Amino acid sequence: MKRRFRRIFGITLLFLTLVAAIGSVTVLGQGGKAQASELPSLREIYQDYFEIGAAVSIAGWSSKTFDRHRELIKHQFSSLTAENEMKPEALQPGPGNFRFTDADRMVDFAVEQGMKVRGHTLVWHAQTGDWFFRDGKNQLIYEKDVITEADRQLVIDRLENHIEVVMEHFGDKVYAWDVVNEAVSDGGGAIHRPDSPWFQILGDDFMKIAFTKAHEVNPNVKLFYNDYNPEMAYKRGRTIKMLEDLLADGVPVHGIGIQGHWSVDGTTIKEIEQAIRMYADLGLEIHITEMDVGMEGFTEEQQAERYRELFQLFKKHSDVITSVTIWGITDDASWRRDENPLLFDGNGEPKPAFWALVDTDKPWYVNKAEYTNAVEFFNSAGEMVGALKPGDYNLNELDSLGFNLAEVTGLQVEKGHLITFFEQEGQQGTAWHFITTEDFAGGAMATQAKSLSIASIETDNIALNKPTKANVLGERAHRAVDGEKISSWSPSAEPPYWLEVDLEGTYLLSRWVVRLHGTGPLAGEVEESPFNAADFSLQISDDGVNWQDVDVVEGNTASICDRDLNLVKASYVRLYVTRPTSVDRNNSLAVYEFEVYGTVLD
Ligand code: XIL
């Protein structure tokens, strides 16, 4: 297997003495594609919090996730929703013409697997045959100038009959129904959305009719009102008013479904949390019914972080949030497939977002490395010869790793992890640290090292608020490390300019970031600009006297320079700028922030 390596900046061998705790020795086999059933199970992980569900579909309605991913579905989820198969147009495409085959297949599977089923949905303005709304002359009632009492009664009868036949068919196998979907208006003024035929024909009454009937048919079932954006301030007031009125009128509404078609930026956690509190105050149970997080313009890692913070919020409120359903299984079959909003990719492989949910207290890559591999080892032909999970390993016997270390020339180390080789057994003596590198001396390591450890490392911005010095405008240099992205160190004299930070300790550095002219309010937060520093380097030092370049940037125009480092050891860092802009004779440098990420040694 060939692998693309992350950008690296030469190899770094560090000689330092560490005394590490002696852990147990685990030796694991080769890495490879995990079987669906070998992945951690969200169903088990969330069992004490809420039901964790997925929407699935059968070919013909939308992409075929139900038959393609059964193993995955039963392993990961405790609840199931039909993405389309239980909507009115699916269950009753023509008057009295009920079709339950597809829905039954899903429900039977769920029952077999001990999963719950959420019914979606009985009353909606979309995906509902228009025969529901035609009079005896085949005329659309909601288009008529005068809607008669007989017209109204006809539509009420159809509504009630649909609810009765469907709910009786599924009985207690469906424990919760979205009785009404998307009834609240997006605009101010009216409460109900004006384009719903149900509203146009029956007015405010249709909600009461639907919920009352549903409760009468099966009083065991939890009845939900479901909508998009009921958590958002613009729609919350109207939704609460509608629900309050229904509850005051004694209408059996038991819960609110928040669809949750979110994006990485979008609605803030605070806004969603306020809504959760407000709906809980009405005495309603809360289900997140159709969650997905569109990735548009963001990375999989940012998407994972968003899933993580949303689930942290749901866990915090698991006294009122009793179910969270993800709207689909794999990105390729998502209704928002252009935005890759789900937990699994088109091959059914878990994405960072999945790993983020495995333990929301840790970054996704730490969760991933614990279950799969933290380090993969490659030979000079680029083939993977072995892989290891986090842990401590002794190298005393040749085959203790399951592969030959001597032939390894490249390492792929999971983000946020570090592999350290030790001169002595039990993770003691001289230590050599690595992250991803294409230039690994496996032969030398095989003879010199007697043990190794693979662990996750926490990296922070270690330059933040540390003592600074600069050759120009030294009294303002601290503004480049104050964590404020609007205050800058802006020398304008004769280059070179340098800015030094005393880290007040010894660190292993893994990344550095400089926020330049273009990120500032004056430049308008642009991505590129000729006024960004062009030529500069990161220098390191043990004593603040002798400096060494560790990463050199030339011809830069980007406003943010964000670069990885292969774990260099330093006590002092220095930004050394030789060309402050790409513009001739313009010597004005602006550094809004200089960040250096690392992990403390000792
Ligand atoms: C979507 C399905 O995912 C699609 O396959 C279908 O083509 C249209 O409907 N709000 C809802 C869901 O309540 O029923 C919708 O599902 C997505 C928006």
User: Is-catalytic flag, 89?
Assistant: no
Average pLDDT value for the chain: 92
Q: In Å, how far are 231, 312, 325, 361, 410 from 309, measured between CA atoms?
A: 16, 5, 16, 10, 35
More confident residue, 485 or 89: 89
Which residue pairs from 19-24 have beta carbons closer than 8 angstroms and sit at least 24 positions apart in sequence? 19/428, 20/392, 20/420, 20/422, 20/427, 20/428, 20/453, 21/427, 22/392, 22/426, 22/427, 23/391, 23/392, 23/427, 23/453, 24/391, 24/392
From the CA of 226, give the closest atom in ligand 1. Answer: 13
Q: Probe ligand 1: pick from 58, 61, 62, max atoms within 8 Å of CB?
A: 62
Distance in Å, CA 275 to ligand 1 centroid: 23
* 229 dihedral zone (left: phi>0; alpha: psi -120 to 50; beta): left
3-state secondary structure of 140: strand
The letter for the amino acid at 74 is: K
90: its two tokens: 């699916």
Q: Probe ligand 1: pick from 83, 86, 331, max atoms within 8 Å of CB?
A: 83
Rounded to whole angstroms, the Cα distance separating 439 from 226 reads 55
Predicted local distance difference test score (pLDDT) of residue 27: 30
Predicted local distance difference test score (pLDDT) of residue 34: 54
Residues 6+ apart with CB under 8 A from 180: 121, 122, 123, 124, 206, 207, 210, 211, 225, 226
In a 13 Å sphere around the CA of 32, the CA atoms on its Cβ side amount to 6
Predicted local distance difference test score (pLDDT) of residue 442: 96
Q: Quote the strand ranges of 139-213, DSSP E.
A: 176-181
Pairing of strands 176-181, 116-123: parallel
Distance in Å, CA 126 to ligand 1 centroid: 9
Produce one character per residue of 462-483: b if its CB has 16 or more CB atoms within 10 Å, e if not: bbeebebebbbbeebbbbbbbe
Rounded to whole angstroms, the Cα distance separating 246 from 564 reads 57
The letter for the amino acid at 176 is: A
More confident residue, 338 or 456: 338
Rounded to whole angstroms, the Cα distance separating 222 from 492 reads 68
Distance in Å, CA 68 to ligand 1 centroid: 20
321-368 per-position pLDDT tens digit: 999 999 999 999 999 999 999 999 999 999 999 999 999 999 999 999
Predicted local distance difference test score (pLDDT) of residue 7: 31
Query: For the whole prediction, is pTM greater than 0.75?
Result: yes
Among residues 51, 85, 182, 595, the one annotated as catalytic is: 182
Rounded to whole angstroms, the Cα distance separating 344 from 264 reads 16
Rounded to whole angstroms, the Cα distance separating 494 from 587 reads 7
Predicted local distance difference test score (pLDDT) of residue 385: 96
Rounded to whole angstroms, the Cα distance separating 277 from 598 reads 39
260-299 per-position pLDDT tens digit: 999 999 899 999 999 999 999 999 999 999 999 999 999 9
Task: Answer whether residue 17 shows pLDDT above 80.
Answer: no
Predicted local distance difference test score (pLDDT) of residue 30: 34
User: Is-catalytic flag, 85?
Assistant: no
Q: What mean pLDDT do residues 420-435 have?
A: 93
53-84 per-position pLDDT tens digit: 999 999 776 678 899 999 999 999 999 999 99
Task: Answer whether residue 259 shows pLDDT above 90.
Answer: yes
Rounded to whole angstroms, the Cα distance separating 553 from 563 reads 10
489-516 per-position pLDDT tens digit: 999 999 999 999 999 999 999 899 999 9
